Amino acid sequence: MPSRIHEFEQCCWDLRGVLSRLGPDEVCCEGLTPRQCRVLRAVGTDPELNLSALAEREGLSASGMSRRVDPLVEGGWLERRKGAADDGRALRLALTKKGKESLAQVEDQIYGGIESLWRELAAPERETVLAALQVLVRAAQRAEARGESS
């Protein structure tokens, strides 16, 4: 008989597989990867986000985030702008017109797939599932902060 942790892991694995099929492919929308889409989404959500804050949010070093952002800048999806810091080094990122259009396309694709999943839930289950997922996300963030996830 599988342990509860094994059942939990299998549920997470199965959900990951389903969600990956509902969302964009590994490369989508003008060649953007899901990780690059996350960067665009983060910048689109918080226009005051600087490179350091984005790196911290994504669990990367500033240089690692810079390597992720560079192709987005070179491809015309993002632009770097001087930040508000006194020394001018705190670069902010901003979506370009191309970035906004690509982000809208990605979000349409994501929401379409997730909406079909949402509709499969019975109306009374939706709030329970949403609350449980919020608890799961907070637990995952705490585990990541402790270095317990890979």
Burial of 3 (0-12, 13-18, 19+ CB in 10 A): exposed
pLDDT value at residue 117: 84
Mean pLDDT per segment of 10 residues, for the chain of length 150 residues? 80 77 60 84 86 84 89 93 62 90 85 83 92 88 69
Amino acid sitting at position 147: G
Instruction: Answer yes or no: CATH 1.10.10.10 is held by domain 4-145.
Output: yes
The structural domains of the chain, with segments of one domain joined by +, span 4-145
Strand partners, 81: 92
pLDDT value at residue 23: 61
pLDDT value at residue 148: 54
How many angstroms from the chain centroid is the CA of residue 67? 17
d(CA 68, CA 42): 13
pLDDT value at residue 87: 52
